[in-house]
Structures are given as structure tokens and as C-alpha cells.
Amino acid sequence: MLRDTLQNLVESAVESLIHSGSLPETARIPVEISDTKNPEHGDFACNFALVASKKAGLAPRQIAEMLREALLVEGSIFEGIDIAGPGFLNLRLKSVVIAAYVQKVLDLGSSLPNSQSIKTNRNLNVEFVSVNPNGPITVGSGRGAAFGDALVRIFRAAGAEVDPEYYINDGVNSQQMRLFAESVKAYALNEPQPENGYKGEYVKAVAEQVGELHSGDSPQTQPLEWWQARSQELMIERQREDLKTFGVDFKTWFSEQSMHNSGLVTSSIAKLTANGTADDGCFRNEIVREGKEARLEQKPEECGPVWLRSTQFGDDKDRVLIRSNGRPAYIAGDVAYLESKLGLRGFDKAFIILGPDHHGYIPRMNAVCGALGYPADRFEIIIFQIVRFLKDGKPAPMRKRDGNIFELRDLIDEIGAHAAPTSSHEEQQRIGRDVARFFYLMRSHDTHMDFDIDLATKQSDENPVFYVQYAHARICSVLNRAKEAGLVAERLTPELAALLSNPRELALIKKILDLPMEVARSAKDYGVHRLTTYAVELARTYHHFYDACRVIQVEEPELSKARISLCEAAAIGLRCTFDLLGISAPERMDRAVLVEETA
């Protein structure tokens, strides 16, 4: 918005200087508008003169002086332009120019984050979480769930169509799923547990549910496949419920077994065999090609395992697709799954978000993408790093006293119960979800993070979640009191907007206008953490404005109306940011006042 306007003005000035011969064609480089290091130096800064100096063959200050002259024309939006250091342009805008953007924010409303789209218009598939259906969603997976869901929201705000997807590892050949079924059956029928079987409350709970739901099916006489199907069904339902509580909703739940049933695994491997990127190990050098077609010259009795020649695409070793016994290896499903995404369903790009122990998966899957014949830029794996939980300033192993897994639902319940002990369970879950999501997203996904449980349950301005939500609740309180006083915001005319000239008013407007830029940057490099930082900065800027600028002044109704409009714009900025982060925007908060009220 405002930064776009400044960027366009500087670019036009550069083009004008090039056209007049003052600058050479080589000076045509991207223009960047940034914040000044000190607000007293101006509203924004531009380093174009420094960056273009070498290509233009001119001193930075000489370029800066030409730009300043080209920008400071009659009727410009600039109050002044200073040249700092060797050639920085410090841009000082007229306050009425900044204030006029308040009404633009009010007009955009919930579309504010979309107003600086990266113009991808791409159809994206984002797979994340995808916990095997033999266990619950753990606190470790919570970081991937929060990150993946926020990234989906950001991609959508940046103009893309996005299909968030959960991959169900339900292949009938899965040894893990068979062992889980054996464990559930043992609990249900009071039999000895299998060696290395699954244990814990959640396994017992599934066993009890199988017995309750299927008592008429005589469970004790059913084969293991029967137990596997029902155990898996119940575990997936539990995962769905926990993710819903966490605010995550998948458009697609994709079954691994469906690809085996439909023949997609077989046809995808046949595609690799035909293009020469997969072959029988015994006949590696005996691929017969006829035009674009290819076939293997081999005898069935001499057939060995089928290999993906993934080293041709940067992998560290070739991978077995079909074992000697005819059973597909796990990567066979990966091949079919990627073919489903990029081929059958035609997504422009597919993302997979994985935990920190999956780095080795990247070259393997990139090789699969290349072997299938798809460009590398149509597929990407994003790795999120380990989260460490702290209590009393010390690492806290997130396991229950009885050794059971500490689930994501446990974290939500613990935070909510400690933060709001007298509230309803529903309200506690809302608070627990909001705090957990915000904390998971406070650090870049590619860095290790500490999750401070003590801080997460604090009802004070030290807790960033309560701090930012209180800013929204405070605005709602102000707007309600204004309405009671008979002061209702009208459309912000240029005359009313001109009343917003206090430095803290202008700082708040500029901060609101930064949201589209933060969304565009996050969509480009997946830095979702920028939005938690932005939320805190916007809340702080609002509190600073509120402390210095009295909003409700019956004796000055016009100024009050202008400031009420600004409050409404700030509320829009906060709500939009909260929506991207997947947290709620409470209109009131029944707890100790975090920021002391001023009259």
C-alpha cells in the first residue's frame, strides 16, 4: 500500500532520469523501501543510490541528489527528503498523505492482508502433520501443525488456491500398523502384548472403543486385518478431533492404501520404467527403447528387485522400488503420491512439511520428482526444527508421570486450565489453543525453539498472546464507550483525516499498513514467525497511541471521530493478523488489566 506507492514513485523518478540521460540504462534495478533506523530521521528510507552506484558509474550521493530533485516536485507527497551518510534517502511524508490511508484500511476490511498479493494465482498442495494412524498428535507434531496451517492461510492471503492435505499411512503392508493392531487386540482381549508393542492410555482407549462399537461382531474371532481397520479408523478420528481443537482443518485426507487399490502405484512405477529411470537390477543395461517408449528385456524367472536410479538425480544411492518378493517398498508409495499430486490432480506445486528427523528425505523425494519428469520448482520439502519445552527455566520432558505420551490435547488443556481455572472447558480450550499456536509460531520454523510453559500460562503483559489480544479487547472497549457517548465514526473525509497528525497516530497508521508487506514476505520465504512479531509490534504501537492520544473527547467530536476511525483500522489489522495465525480476537478479557487504563 503506502510502501508500494513510494516504490512506484522512486521507480518512476529513476525511469525519468534514465530517459533524460542523467542515469544510464544499467541503473534500472529493483527499488526497496525500508524503515529508517530512527523515526526522527523520517518515515521511510531508500538505499537505491548506494545499490545502483556501481552499475551507474556515479557516486551514491550524486545519484541521491538527482533522485531527491526528481521526487520533490510541486504537489508531491513529501514533506521533505534528506540525504544521509553516503547516499541514503530519508523520506518524510506529509501527515495528510499517511492519514488518508485509514479510510482505505476501513474499506478493505478483512481483505487487508490480500492488498499486496504476490500474484501467484497458483494451485498449491500443502501436506503437513501426517502422523501415522497408530498414535495421537504429540506436542512435537504441534509445531508442524501450527506452522503448516498458518502457511496455508498466508498462501491464500497472497492469492493462491491451496489444498491442505493429511497423508494417511494406512498401507496394508505396513508393519507398524500391524503391530499397532496386535497391541490393540491384546489389550481388548486381555492377551499378552506383542514384543515391542504399542503401550499407553491411547492404545487402551482404542481397545475399549473397538469392544464397545463392535461387540456384535465377535471381536475375539476376527482376523488381524479386522482389528487393523477398526483400530486405524478410531485413531484417525481421534487425530481429526485433536486437530480441530487446535484450529486445523484439512481439505483432503489422502489414503496411502487407495493408491495400491487403484493401481496408481503400479502405473507410476511403469512410468519410471518406461522413461528409463527405473529398471530391474539384473538387467540394468538392457533397456530397449523404441522412440519415446522403453521396455526391459528380461525373463520372469530371472527378475530381481526393481530399482529407482535416483543417483541420476542427486540422491546418495539408488532406491529399491519393488522387492525381490514382489512387495513394493515404502518409496513406491511416495512415487505414486507425488504422481497423484503433480500429475493426476495437477497442482502447480506440492509442499511437504516434515519434522527435524527427515532431512534425508529431501534428496530422495527430489530424485523421485526428477525421475517422474517434473521440474524441481514444482515440489519442495520444508523442515521444521525441534521444539524444547521449559518449566521453571529448565528442560521439561513432555511425558506424563506414568510415562505416557504427552499429547497436543494435553498441552492445550494444561495451558487453558492454568490460565483460566474458573472458565468453562470450552473457553479453556480456546485459550490453550491460542497460546499454543502463537508460541509455536514465535520463532522461525528452521530454528530450534524453546516453549516456556510458565510464560504460556501467565496472565500478564509478559505473555505475548494475552498482550496482543488485550490490544484488540481494549479497542472494542473504546469503541463501545464511544458509542455510549454518542460518538460514532463517519467516513473519514480528507478534513477529518487531516486531524490525525500526532506522531503516535501516524506511527500506528504506518504499522497497520505494513501487514500486506509482511504477508507477501512470509509467502515468499515461509517466515510465518514474522506475523507473531508483527502482532506484538502492532499491539505495542496501539498502546503507545492510546497512552498519548485521548480518543473520547466529547468537547472535540471531530478529532474523536477521526481517532475512532483509527481505532477501527487498528482492530482490522489485529483481527486479520490473528486470523492468519489461527487465533481468536476476543472483544473482552475478564482478567487482571494488562495495560493500565488511561481515561
DSSP string for residues in 394-405 = EE---B-TTS-B
- 284 and 324 together in one domain: yes
Q: Is residue 123 part of a domain?
A: no
Instruction: State the Rg of the chain over Cα.
Output: 30
Which CATH number fits the domain that encloses residue 346? 3.40.50.620
Q: What is the pLDDT of residue 219?
A: 79
Q: Is residue 117 part of a domain?
A: no
Distance CA 307, CA 296 (A): 12
Grid cell 520444508 — which residue? Answer: 382
- 79 and 202 together in one domain: no
Where is the domain boundary, 245, 267, 285? 245
**Three-state secondary structure string covering 232-287:** HHHHHHHHHHHHHHCCCCCCEEEEHHHHHHHCHHHHHHHHHHHCCCEEEHHHCCCE
Q: Is residue 119 part of a domain?
A: no
Of 431, 462, 437, the closest CA to residue 594 belongs to: 462
Q: Is residue 444 part of a domain?
A: yes
Q: Is residue 411 part of a domain?
A: yes
- 312 and 398 together in one domain: yes
Q: Is residue 485 part of a domain?
A: yes
Q: Are 595 and 539 in contact (CB under 8 A)?
A: no
Q: Is residue 122 part of a domain?
A: no
Q: How many residues does the chain have?
A: 599
Distance CA 229, CA 384 (A): 31
- Which portions of the chain are predicted below pLDDT 70? 115-121, 172-173, 215, 281-304, 398-404, 590-599
Chain centroid to CA 482? 36
- 240 and 343 together in one domain: no
Alpha-carbon distances of 499 from 40, 98, 103, 556, rounded to whole Å:
20, 11, 13, 11
Q: Are 166 and 132 in contact (CB under 8 A)?
A: no
Q: Are 453 and 390 in contact (CB under 8 A)?
A: yes
Q: What is the pLDDT of residue 213?
A: 73
Tell me how many degrees the CA angle 512-518-521 measures, rounded to the nearest 5.
160
Of 130, 147, 99, the closest CA to residue 2 belongs to: 99
Q: What is the pLDDT of residue 490?
A: 82
Where is the domain boundary, 245, 263, 294? 245
**Three-state secondary structure string covering 61-129:** HHHHHHHHHHHCCCCCCEEEEEEECCCEEEEEECHHHHHCHHHHHHHHHHHHHHHHCCCCCCEEEEECC
How many Cβ atoms from other residues are within 10 Å of residue 446's Cβ? 14
Q: Is residue 382 part of a domain?
A: yes
Q: What is the pLDDT of residue 15?
A: 97
- 522 and 392 together in one domain: no
- 155 and 189 together in one domain: no
User: Where is 443: in which H helix or E strand?
Assistant: none
Alpha-carbon distances of 136 from 84, 172, 201, 425, 539, rounded to whole Å:
57, 20, 10, 21, 35
Distance CA 256, CA 544 (A): 53
- 392 and 502 together in one domain: no
Distance CA 205, CA 239 (A): 13
Classify the C-alpha dihedral 189-191-196-201 as positive or negative.
Answer: positive
Distance CA 224, CA 557 (A): 76
- 293 and 374 together in one domain: yes
Alpha-carbon distances of 150 from 129, 252, 550, 581, rounded to whole Å:
13, 17, 35, 5
Residues 6 or more apart whose CB falls under 8 angstroms from that of 571 comprise: 472, 475, 476, 479
Distance CA 259, CA 171 (A): 9
Distance CA 388, CA 408 (A): 14
Which CATH number fits the domain that encloses residue 16? 3.30.1360.70
**DSSP string of 449-500, one letter each residue:** EEEEHHHHT--STTSHHHHHHHHHHHHHHHHHHHHHTT-------HHHHTT-
Q: What is the pLDDT of residue 285?
A: 39
Please, what is the angle between helix 175-188 and helix 201-213, to 10°?
Answer: 70
- 140 and 271 together in one domain: yes
Q: What is the pLDDT of residue 598?
A: 37
DSSP conformation class of 359? T
**DSSP string of 32-45, one letter each residue:** -EE--SSGGG-SEE
Which CATH number fits the domain that encloses residue 560? 1.10.730.10
- 481 and 356 together in one domain: no
**Number of domains, the chain:** 4
Q: What is the pLDDT of residue 326?
A: 83
Distance CA 417, CA 394 (A): 21
Q: Is 129 left (phi over 0), alpha (psi -120 to 50) or beta?
A: left
Distance CA 103, CA 109 (A): 10
What residue type is 30 in one-letter code?
A: P
Of 451, 478, 387, 465, the closest CA to residue 420 belongs to: 465
Distance CA 360, CA 373 (A): 21
Alpha-carbon distances of 378 from 118, 268, 365, 370, 528, rounded to whole Å:
17, 18, 12, 10, 21
- 415 and 498 together in one domain: no
The residue range of the domain holding 86 is 2-93
- 234 and 365 together in one domain: no
Q: What is the pLDDT of residue 397?
A: 74
Of 480, 552, 471, 479, the closest CA to residue 508 belongs to: 471
